[in-house]
Each structure stands twice: as C-alpha cells, then as structure tokens.
Amino acid sequence: MRSAIKFLLIAAVFAGIAVSDSTSFTIHVVGDSTVCTYKDNAYPQTGWGQVIGYFFDGARVKVNNAAIGGRSSRTFIEEGRLDDVMKGAQSGDYLFVQFGHNDRDYSKEARYVPPDQFPGYIQKYVDAGKAKGVNVILISPMNLNGSRNVFSTGDKNYDARGMMQTVAKNNKIPFVDLNMKSYNTYNTTYKNMPDYVTRYLYKKLEKGEYPNYPDGVNDGTTHFQEMGSMGHAQMICEELEENLKSNTNLSAEAKAALTTLVSTIKPRYTIKVQTNLSNYNGLITQTQYFPAGSPMTLRVTPNGQTFEKWVDDDCNELSKNMIYYGFKTKARNITYTAMFKGGSECKKIAHDSEDEGGDGPTSSSSEEPESSTSIDTALCFTGVADTIWRSPIDMASPEVGDGTTDSNHEGFTGQGFFNLENSAYSTATYKVTSDQSASNARVMVRYAFAGTTNRDMKITVDNGTYDVAFPPTGAWDKWDTVYIEDVWVDALDFKVKLASTTSDGGPNVDMIAFDIKGVYRTGCQPAKVKNDVGNDVESSSSGTDAIVKRPTDVPAVRDGRRFNALGRIVPGEKSHSRLPKGHYFNR
C-alpha cells in the first residue's frame, strides 16, 4: 500500500528538484458557480472548489475558495474580488483560475466577455499573481452538455479552453485541461451511461430524492452534485501531476512551484462498487479514486430488482433498505457491494490493512458561507408563505438606502415600506441569502405611489440588472405588483439593489418575493411554505463518520401549476395572477 505514496513522489523525483515536506501555503480558488462553495441547504449541489481541499495534505495546505456563481473573468475583477483575494495572499501561495462558462453567455450583457477580450482578462489574473509572488495555474472549464467544444454559441466559436491554454503557454505556467479531461471521462469511461452522468454527477434530481429538493430539479447540464465535483477535483490533481511529468513549456520557477504543490497531493485509494447480481441493469456508483477522509456516496437506482443493503468487503452491513449511503473514505483500497434479493451471498474480499495516519487532517476549504445576524429580527418573515411566491422578503429597512422607512399608508405588509427619495440617484440595497439556485426564477415587487407618470427602476439581483417599469397605482395606499422574469439566482449570499431612474425617485416598496423557496434576508431563516412537507434526514448507526442521505416520498408542491398524470408540468399553465393585499403573510 505504501506504493501509492511512492507513486505521488515520482513526479518530484523526475523533476530533479528537492521538495521540503514542511512547506505550507494556501491555494486560492477563483471561478463561477461550477467552482464555488454552497450551503448545506443546497446539497447535493457542490462546486469543485468546495471539495478540492480533501485531495491535499491539510497539515501543509489551506484552501480559500473565493469562487462565486454568475461571474465571468471580467465581472470578478470589476467587483473587486480579485483584489480582495490578492490582499490575503502571500508569496508562495497558489491561485487556481477557472472561467469561461459565463464569459461566453452573450444573452447576458452584464457578464459577457467578447472572445477577443477573454485572453486579456485571464492575463490580468496571471499578472496579479506574479506581482504578489503567487503561483498561477489556469484551469479550463469542465465539459458541459456532453460536447467536446462546449463553447459554441450559434455560428461563433468561443474557444475558452484554447485561449486559456495559449495564455498559460505564453507565460510558461501550468495549464490544467479540465475541459478535455472531463470530456474524455464522460464520453469514454461513461460512454454508454448518459443517465449516470446526468443523474449521479450533474444536478438532475428526481422528485423526493433529496430533502432539499422535494420537487426535484432538472439541472442536468450545468451544475454538479458532490460526486461530480469530487470527480473534477480528482481530474485536476491528475492533470497537475501530468503537467509536472510532461509539460516542457514550464519555466524553472513554475516547475519548482508545481513540484512543491504536487508533493502535497494525498494518496488516492480505489473505491470499487459492485452488486451481488450477475445481470444488474440499473444505475450504480462507479469506481472512484479518492483520498482518505473525503466524502463518498454509494447509490443505486434499481431497475426492477429489490435492493436490500450495502456491505463492505468484510461483509459488514452498512445500511439496510437505503439506496443512498454517505460516509468518509478509508485509507485503503476497498470494495462495497449493493446486495439485492435473489443475488449471491456476500463473500469476504481479501484486502490490505488501513494505512496509518490515513485519516489525518484534510485540507481546510474555505468556510461555508455564513449569514450575518445583525439584522433586526422583526424584519424576518415568520409566517407561512404562499405556494406560488415561496420566498417573501420585507423591504422596510435596507442595509443602505436613500430614503426613509415609513408606515403612514395603509395596506403594507410586514414592518412597513421603504420610501425612496425623490431623485434619479436614490438607491436601496438589501443583503439576501439563497439556499437554492435557479436560472429562471421569477421575482415579484409590491409597491405603491400616486401620480400620472412611471417611476421606473433598475433592479439588481446578484450581478444581473433588470429594467423594471413601475406604472402609477393611483394612490399611496393602493398596492400593486410588477414582475421580473428569468432571474438568475445562485445558492449564496448576494445583494438586491433598487435604483431610481426618474427625478421623482422610486415608488414606495413594500416587499419582494421569489417563486423559489429558500431566499431570505441575510440573518433570517427561509420561510415555511404552505403545504410543503418537511423531510427528515436519518442518521446511520454504523459509525460516527456516516452521513446518510435518504430519498423520500414527499409529493410535489403544486404551487399554482397544472400537472399531468405523470407529474409533469403542463407548459403555459403556471399562474401569473396577482395576489391580493396581505396574501403573502399568513401569520
């Protein structure tokens, strides 16, 4: 078993460079929603930056995952995020850079980066690292949608992979080709298993599979589950090792830094998964290669067979009647078997003993996003939300605003409303948290004002800005609603900003609401939704390191939509009706 450790040092010996086993540093990770860290409420959605730390020696390596959803190489810089990362970086640290998914999205002007400008923005990350003595490693975006060239937009070819490779070559720094690595994995290793890729790696979840998504979610082409991101982290480590062996373009400095980095990669062990059936035709977790202490999920989706239990290679029962079993990996090669009714009896499989120290400290990834508790709890919604508008948010008191919080007009909900100043430059900014992600969320704004002309505003949700028309409601105590369609929301903390565009300022704003659940003022808790039954996560008695993620049979919340006999939404049937005064706050 010690050969696994020796294997990881071959690259260092090959390079002919002495490696100190006491060198410590931080890996700073920047990127988009495929990289960032998500809250527990969004599980199993996971970014690879959230789990990359498991692959490095935690006694020497810390991980600062600064990636955030919805950003491109340009907007990450414009928002000052790269500057913030560099302020906390030290000479000898590493900067992992992955962008390209949002850069190519020409439908969203706020994030789009023309292809002739993309290399220049990537170069800015390289320059920032060099100025601070930080070692930059460029990582091409992972494969999406099952196509090698995932950056095709109409008749234009947005080759983010090729452009990043060129920047790396020009600067003689490592290039991790995650795009091609993931493409080859999905189209070779899993070539005949498209359902496995979308159901077990991407975030396509069926109704009732996970407590956080009782209605399921069809995100099988963009975001990833924990096992998908663990796989990407494994690919990144393999590419780093390969760079050290065969990348002849590296400068002497880059090669020395890469040697140190590779020396901290932990040994990986083979985690084989099988069944006791000779003719199993359902889905099952495929063999993985993870370090000790990392998260692992065993999962089966039977196709007519009766699943009974999971066992290890000593025939110890791990869980019974549970098609999911989550745990921390051991420091040895191991085999797990899904036992089905009618299959062969369990037979013990000879194996090596567990490596000493294999369960030692893992690398500390950046902390899970935490919500501030400084908000006045009176602003937190504590009632039961409507099933159409699942996330009502009181707008009475912004964190920063030009105007006043008032309650001198009837019909408002919550603690009052915000009265924006009569100015074309008045704004109100609110800190908001989302536990869910959606590419086409719908937002409602409840407002009122007397007059004869519009008081239009620009409304920013995270980094998307929307022009919203606000026609007069006829009186200051007559409330109406407007809607924003196709709003991008990621599972993270962000800001909602209202900005006036007329000299009369904005309207009085009472509340906003999202049609997805789990969006709330930062420091509060998500709203309970009418008729939405909660799900319990059961714990296993097989060990303190076991975390069970169990499917449930909770019916879908109907939230104003029509479903056919198969439980699918009938197109065009979602209700767009306006809600009457006070409908959102059933206290």
Q: List helix spans (H) across 194-251.
A: 194-196, 226-246
Which of 460, 458, 471 lies closest to 500, judged by CA? 458
Q: CA 406, CA 529: separation in Å to the nearest integer?
A: 28
Per-residue model confidence as pLDDT tens digits over 14-29:
444 444 566 799 999 9
Q: Is the pLDDT of residue 86 over 80?
A: yes
Predicted local confidence at residue 190, as pLDDT: 85
Cross-strand pairs, 298: 325
Per-residue model confidence as pLDDT tens digits over 55-65:
999 999 999 99
Q: CA 266, CA 258: separation in Å to the nearest integer?
A: 15
Predicted local confidence at residue 550, as pLDDT: 28
* Domain layout of the chain by residue ranges: 2-267, 269-354, 377-529
DSSP 550: -
CA–CA distances in Å: residue 567 to residues 203, 528, 534, 564 = 19, 23, 20, 5
Q: CA 277, CA 341: separation in Å to the nearest integer?
A: 9
The third-level CATH classification (topology) of the domain covering 2-267 is: Rossmann fold (3.40.50)
Using left for φ > 0, alpha for ψ between -120 and 50, and beta otherwise, residue 416 falls in left
Residue 154's SS3 state is coil
Classify burial at 174, counting beta carbons within 10 Å of its beta carbon; exposed 0-12, middle 13-18, buried 19 or more: buried
Fold: same for 2-267 and 377-529 = no
- Rounded to 5 degrees, φ, ψ at 519 are -115, 130
Q: CA 254, CA 244: separation in Å to the nearest integer?
A: 10
Predicted local confidence at residue 156, as pLDDT: 53
CA angle, corner 535, sides to 33 and 525, nearest 5? 60
Q: CA 512, CA 457: separation in Å to the nearest integer?
A: 14
At the fourth CATH level, which superfamily is domain 377-529? Answer: Galactose-binding domain-like (2.60.120.260)
Predicted local confidence at residue 324, as pLDDT: 80
Q: CA 103, CA 91: separation in Å to the nearest integer?
A: 29
Per-residue model confidence as pLDDT tens digits over 335-375:
999 999 999 999 999 998 888 655 544 554 444 444 444 68
Q: CA 466, CA 457: separation in Å to the nearest integer?
A: 8
Q: List helix spans (H) across 247-271.
A: 252-263
Predicted local confidence at residue 37, as pLDDT: 94
Predicted local confidence at residue 214, as pLDDT: 86
Per-residue model confidence as pLDDT tens digits over 150-162:
443 333 578 999 9
Place of tokens 């924990």: 226
CA–CA distances in Å: residue 434 to residues 319, 438, 444, 491 = 33, 10, 16, 5
Identify the sign of the CA torsion 241, 243, 246, 248: negative
Q: CA 471, CA 157: separation in Å to the nearest integer?
A: 42
Classify burial at 255, counting beta carbons within 10 Å of its beta carbon; exposed 0-12, middle 13-18, buried 19 or more: buried
Place of tokens 């000790």: 292
Per-residue model confidence as pLDDT tens digits over 276-332:
999 998 999 999 999 999 999 999 999 899 999 999 999 999 988 777 888 899 999
By the 8 A CB rule, do 263 and 19 touch? yes
Predicted local confidence at residue 192, as pLDDT: 79
Q: Is the pLDDT of residue 179 over 80?
A: yes
Residue 581 CB partners (closer than 8 Å, separation 6+) = 411, 413, 479
Q: CA 83, CA 92: separation in Å to the nearest integer?
A: 17
By the 8 A CB rule, do 220 and 145 touch? no
By the 8 A CB rule, do 57 and 363 touch? yes
By the 8 A CB rule, do 362 and 298 touch? no
Per-residue model confidence as pLDDT tens digits over 200-251:
999 888 888 888 888 888 887 788 999 999 999 999 999 999 999 999 999 9
Residues 92-105: what's their mean pLDDT?
94
